[in-house]
Amino acid sequence: MPLVAHNQLPAFNDLKLEGETVIPGELAIHQDIRELHIGLLNLMPDAALTATERQFLRLINDSNQIAQFYVHLFTLPELPRSPEGLAHVQAFYETFEQIQASGLDALIVTGANVTQPDLSKEAFWNPLVEVVDWAYKNVTSTLFSCLTTHATMQFRFGQTRRRLPEKRWGVFPHRLIERHHPLVVGVNTRFDVPHSRFNDISREQFEAAGLHVLVESDEAGVHLAVSQDGFRLVFFQGHPEYDTISLLKEYKREVMLYGSGGREDYPPFPENYFSPLSQAILDEYAELVMAAKRENAPIPRFPEDLIVPKLDNTWHDTAEAILNNWVGKVYQTTNQDRGKTFMDGVNPDDPLGIYGK
């Protein structure tokens, strides 16, 4: 079954306008279908807050049809917010205390923007540790995205991310390393995943932490790794939740930064993303931007309307398949009473019973 619009979050209406199936809460409560409650800890800044909501809600909704999905959004009050961002959070988000009281079946933790190389000095560090520690004891499975993968690897496993020589940015081919793991059953053996990051956790670091690498790229490194039990902790380094236009929006932002003097060099293209024709259009646009800067003239309008129709999405179906497997295992494993970590008789260190046989 689909997402349940259990509050007035604008993202629910946005998804309905896209053709997604979202049912109102008053209808859902009259259907004799099991609920699945998934937390979404959204750590993104205001500019990306609602886009991140839509991306993960869409991915959850597209992935599985076995339950009614109640997605509970919350964030950390230590993160700076504008008055508008704070008003959005206060209107549509729950508090961590409310999450703890009601319980969750699963948790997704988004990435976040950082201000310094040492993640432990970020304002969100201690609150994030508290949430992750609570989830480890009370939630069947937690899925970490990008930056929070790096943070969790640091505070739980002592593996500190390493700065890359240049930004890893684009859409990269990946391959399955372990084909028979429950999270990748039925997934293509080769597929694409977007990446957008300056730092990396290597395969050697994941393995030194006792984690299993399931998906890797020769160009982009590890994308998907899991804890020894196969399920409780799931780590993404890439961004399978990205919309087709997400990297275009990032590229446009960097171009505008260059135009306003916020960066010295003109940004390179995200790898394997723009078509040759789109690159030609954007090269011509770059010349116009640089000419405008030399003449101290206004920056010309970005040709987004010419680029969007030529963009391809080569990752969403695989992302759906992996999320489908993840949600399915949560559904099979959790007790129907929220707040209880595992079904009676299930080993919490091996909830799926797939290791140690």
pLDDT exceeds 90 at position 15: no
89 with 209, same domain: the answer is yes
93 with 114, same domain: the answer is yes
The residue segments making up the domain with residue 305 are 246-310
Catalytic residue, chosen from 6, 72, 122, 146, is 146
Average pLDDT value for the chain: 88
User: How would residue 68 be classed by pLDDT, with cut points 50, 70 and 90?
Assistant: confident
Whole-number percent of the chain with pLDDT over 90: 72
Contact (Cβ atoms closer than 8 angstroms) between residue 211 and residue 226? yes
pLDDT at 66: 63
* Residue 239 is a catalytic residue: yes
User: How would residue 25 be classed by pLDDT, with cut points 50, 70 and 90?
Assistant: low
180 with 62, same domain: the answer is yes
- Give 167: exposed, middle or buried? Use CB within 10 Å, 0-12, 13-18, 19+: middle
User: How would residue 142 be classed by pLDDT, with cut points 50, 70 and 90?
Assistant: very high
48 with 63, same domain: the answer is yes
Catalytic residue, chosen from 150, 223, 239, 320, is 239
Question: How many domains is the chain built from?
Answer: 2
User: How would residue 352 be classed by pLDDT, with cut points 50, 70 and 90?
Assistant: very low
Catalytic residue, chosen from 53, 122, 216, 241, is 241
Helices 147-157/125-138 angle, 10° precision: 80
* Residue 166 is a catalytic residue: no
Tens-place pLDDT, residues 317-342 = 999 999 989 988 887 777 554 444 43
193 with 90, same domain: the answer is yes
- Give 134: exposed, middle or buried? Use CB within 10 Å, 0-12, 13-18, 19+: middle
Q: Report the predicted TM-score, pTM, of the whole model to 2 decimal places.
A: 0.85
pLDDT exceeds 80 at position 250: yes
Task: Cite the DSSP H helix spans in the chain.
Answer: 10-17, 25-28, 46-63, 83-92, 96-102, 125-138, 147-157, 203-208, 246-260, 276-294, 304-307, 316-333
Contact (Cβ atoms closer than 8 angstroms) between residue 45 and residue 62? no
Mean pLDDT calculated for residue range 224-243: 94
Tens-place pLDDT, residues 263-321 = 999 999 999 999 999 999 999 999 999 999 999 999 999 999 999 999 999 999 999 99
pLDDT at 23: 59
Does residue 58 lie within any of the structural domains? yes
* Residue 37 is a catalytic residue: no
The better pLDDT of the pair 251, 61 is held by 251
pLDDT at 115: 86
Tens-place pLDDT, residues 251-270 = 999 999 999 999 999 999 99
Strand order, beta sheet including 141-145: 22-24, 3-5, 68-74, 35-43, 106-112, 141-145, 233-236, 221-226, 212-217, 162-176, 190-200
Mean pLDDT calculated for residue range 23-43: 72
142 with 281, same domain: the answer is no
